[in-house]
Copies of this chain bind each other. A is one copy, B any other.
Amino acid sequence: MTSPVRFPANLKPLEPQGSFRLEQERKRASFDAKKLSEIIYGPEYLARQEKLLAILQSDPILGDKSHRFYSGRDVRFQKGLAAAKRLAELSNEHQWGPEEWRMVDQLFDEAGPFRLHRAMFIPTLQNQGTEEQKRLFMEPAQRYEIIGCYAQTELGHGSNIQGLETTATYDIGSKSFVLHSPTLTASKWWIGGLGVAATHAIIMARLIINGQDYGPHPFVVQIRDLQDHKPLPGVTVGDIGPKFGLNTIDNGFVVFDHVRIPHIAMLAKYSRVDPDSGRYIKPPNSKLAYGTMVYVRANIVLESRYVLARAATVAIRYSAVRAQGNPSKGVETPVLDYSMQQYRLLPIVAQAYACHFTGQAMHRLYHENQTRMNTGDFSALVELHATSSGLKSLTTTLALAAIEECRRACGGHGYSLFSGLGQFYQDYLPKVTWEGDNYLLTQQTTRFLLKMFRSTAAGSGTDQPTNFSAGYIREYLNHPSATCAIESASDISLDALLAAFKFRAAYLVEQAVHAIDKEKRSWNDMLVDIYRISRAHCQLVMLSNFDTSVAIFSRLALLFGLATLEQELADFLTIGYLSAAQAKLIRQQTLVTIKQLRPDAVALVDAFAIPEFALQSALGDAEGRVYERLIAMAEREPLNKHNVAEGYNSYIRPLVHAGKHNWKRGGDGRARL
């Protein structure tokens, strides 16, 4: 007879306990965290969070997330499907819009098999379908009567849409398209929702008419029988297998063997094929699609804010609870008092705030620009789109690095899944590759900046008053030999830092223009510089957007500027803008600013108001009950169901009992020595 493993009751952690330590931290803060929350989010957001949280937490299917720690893909996928169905029902019941869904996705924190149906299939039909196509496909999709996905990437072709191999050949006789995968590498691959769930897919395929290739176009294709879910004839479909994370999504593949689909299948709001003549009708040149991209990326930046804030919440709270030293000598220090720990964590808090303000600014600019575009003014669009590309790259890179840095800053326990940072990292990872690879994307940003530099330098006036980049490029052109004016610590201000970031970005752009236009260096040879330029521009944008209307924000802005500058010090020194002495001053002042922010560390993460339901972290427990929760979570480990675990009889006993005769067993079970 075995019994489950249970920790002895009544054992308490060493004094002072985590709850006391966190309480002390909160008393030290220079501001009220609750009030700061309202400044950051506004009351509406917080009320919405509370409401949705109540729905999710009390739901019998969605309310308990703890199984996620212990289950493999098999169990998690089934529970993920159940959750997806339940969320679909709740969405209908409560009429969730995009704002609600974004928050639900954050709170529930698990992407399921219907995620892409909602996030890609329906929006693509909405944006690219005709009215008839919307009626035929979008309306049943909204009722989940069909389940869709969006299939662009192929086994041999990822972000590069021009490389796609799948063809849709128009057959004028039958007024239908023949969809075909000519090679193995043409298989659609990585398609979220396709592996198990989807009945339909939007397939990006090269449109071929009379032997002419018109490039990739979107087609709505039924994949599985609505009656029994079996793959339709000519369709091979399945799951691509396990991934580093997101295993509750069924990323799938599909191969087509001359599958015939009707004329209505081609999404025809923009380009279309005349059914009778087979004539290809080009899309009107629409810039509106770029506006949507800016909107999507503004949300990615706000999501980075959330990622940074969540990781920092865990690491900072735990660093306040975790103490090192010699307790028998009564000298234990919370590790948050170590300067290295502060140096690792506080800049991440500043980055979270920076992402918040920049995400907000992008939303504001998006709306201003939409209004402008409605009056035919497209002047702001190109820069907004270019900057949004670089910001997606920069902020997702920052956020991902922050999760891992915070995890490591939690020491050994950071490696336990109960830290809440392991799965979080694994699931966020693809953001640096998807929705535009973080390296490739920077080419769009830099290409724009180079153009802007050329036109500003030529005084050709294609730059607009709304252009932020033209502004700082002009400043630079007026003072191309400027150097930093800082002489002592007291000279270091946000303005001084902004001037430095402006000069550096413009200087790097000028160098690249020179290398390409004068030295005739190839684009490929410039890729490292191109990446660096986009980053420089976007760091400047983030610093510029920092709200300084509240004292604590000003200090965070300074830290964001200083820590970013320190990290990029080589640039500022190489271009001769900073002297070695100034660089030393910057390094010192970074540490000084960090020290000033130290007493507010816990309150600064509290202000992000991330509920425990989202954190799922023993280390980040808001009340500091770190050790109690680690134990409670360990007790649920399946291996602890019996105090002699499965496998003993097969794999351990035969070894140990081979030597049984060498030991005498005492009455208490102990071997007699």
Contacts and interface: CB of A to CB of B under 8 A. Distances in A.
Contact of A242 (B70, B226, B430, B439): B70
Contacts of A211: none
Interface in A299-345: 322-328, 332, 337-340, 343
A39 interface: no
Nearest to A425: B244
B325 A647 contact: no
A673 B262 contact: yes
Interface in A625-673: 627-628, 630-631, 633-640, 643-648, 650-656, 658-660, 662-663, 665, 668-671, 673
Contacts of A81: 647, 650-652
A655 B338 CA distance: 55
A665 B339 CA distance: 69
Contacts of A245: 415
A362 interface: no
- In the assembly, how many copies of this chain are there? 2
Contacts of A75: 72
Contact of A239 (B255, B343, B640): B640
Interface string A572-603: 01111000100110010001000000000000
26 contacts: A7-B184, A7-B255, A11-B184, A13-B184, A14-B165, A14-B186, A70-B241, A78-B646, A84-B651, A85-B651, A144-B656, A147-B655, A158-B411, A162-B325, A162-B326, A199-B656, A213-B328, A227-B665, A238-B640, A244-B407, A244-B417, A338-B527, A339-B526, A340-B527, A566-B570, A574-B583
A237 to B, nearest CB: 7
Contacts of A525: 339, 591
Given A77-B639, A244-B417, A185 B225 contact: no
A314 to B, nearest CB: 14
Contacts of A669: 225, 227, 230, 232-233
A653 B227 CA distance: 8
Q: Which 9 A-B pairs have the closest CB atoms?
A: A72-B72, A145-B659, A5-B238, A569-B570, A573-B573, A244-B422, A340-B527, A225-B669, A241-B637
Contacts of A185: 13-14, 627
Contacts of A73: 70, 72, 638
Contacts of A633: 241
Interface string A149-184: 000010111111011010000000000000001011
A78 B591 CA distance: 49
A146 interface: yes
A126 interface: no
Given A163-B332, A244-B422, A238 B78 contact: no
Interface string A519-538: 00000111110010000000
Nearest to A421: B244
Contacts of A233: 668-669
Contacts of A130: none
B416 A429 contact: no
A240 B637 contact: yes
B433 A659 contact: no
Q: Is the interface of A mostly helix, strand, loop or mixed?
A: mixed
Nearest to A261: B670
Contacts of A343: 527-528
B670 A143 contact: no
Interface in A194-241: 195-197, 199, 206, 213, 222, 224-233, 236-241
A84 B654 CA distance: 13
A35 B190 CA distance: 40
Contacts of A153: 412
B160 A325 contact: yes
Interface in A400-444: 407-408, 411-418, 422, 429-430, 432-434, 437, 439
A88 interface: yes
Contacts of A660: 145, 226-227
B570 A573 contact: yes
